[in-house]
Amino acid sequence: MSQSTLLVLLILAVIVLIAAGIGIWQMQRTRLRPLPDESKRRYASSWRAIEARFIEEPRNAIHEADQTAVALLQERGAKLDDDRHIPDDLRRAREAARAQEGEQGTEGMRKAMLHYKAMFIDAVGESARESDKSPSREVA
């Protein structure tokens, strides 16, 4: 092998290593860490209140859902410093809520709530959400 061939192979190997390093760094940067159990319980309680409020005060519930989702994502380690790093569900929720502004119906807000709920379930998990509910009492 000539020196030029070795040099080309060495350069290619360096490029591959750099690309792999960047890929690993990006994966670690976008991976969200799990919430501690106490935070899961707190967010589960907050989410139930937000969902209940949506029937009577949909705009207020959407605003609170957005604030709660941002706090939840930040606690999980999400970088929300620019639009490129905002998770898809948060971006879609905000777009759906914005599309509804000025209109009579609540379809956009309903879609926004579904996206917020997806973020919530991803963070808290369906089983943690269900186990946190207090048992209902039957009335005789």
Residues 18 and 74 in one domain: no
Percent of the chain predicted with pLDDT > 90: 47
Which CA distances in Å does 41 have to 89, 115, 120, 127, 131? Answer: 21, 20, 11, 11, 9
Residues 59 and 113 in one domain: yes
- Count of CB atoms situated within 10 Å of the CB of 12: 10
Which DSSP state fits 139? Answer: -
Residues 92 and 48 in one domain: yes
Q: How far apart are CA 21 and CA 10, in angstroms?
A: 16
Q: Is 89 helix (H, G, I), strand (E, B) or coil?
A: helix
Name residues whose C-beta falls within 8 Å of residue 94's C-beta, 6 or more positions apart in sequence.
66, 112
Q: Is 59 helix (H, G, I), strand (E, B) or coil?
A: helix
Q: What is the pLDDT of residue 24?
A: 65
Q: What is the pLDDT of residue 131?
A: 45
Q: How far apart are CA 123 and CA 126, in angstroms?
A: 9
pLDDT digits 0-9 by tens, 112-131: 999 999 999 999 987 544 54
More confident residue, 107 or 126: 107
CA 70 to chain centre: 8
Q: CB burial class (10 A; 0-12, 13-18, 19+) of residue 25?
A: exposed
CA 81 to chain centre: 14
Residues 75 and 126 in one domain: yes
Residues 26 and 47 in one domain: no
Q: How confident is the model at residue 136 (pLDDT cuts 50, 70, 90)?
A: very low
Residue 26 pLDDT > 80: no
Query: Looking at the 3D structure of the chain, how many domains does it have?
Result: 2
- Domain span holding position 64: 37-131
Residues 104 and 61 in one domain: yes
Residues 115 and 48 in one domain: yes
Least confident of 18-22, 23-27, 52-56, 135-139: 135-139
More confident residue, 129 or 36: 36
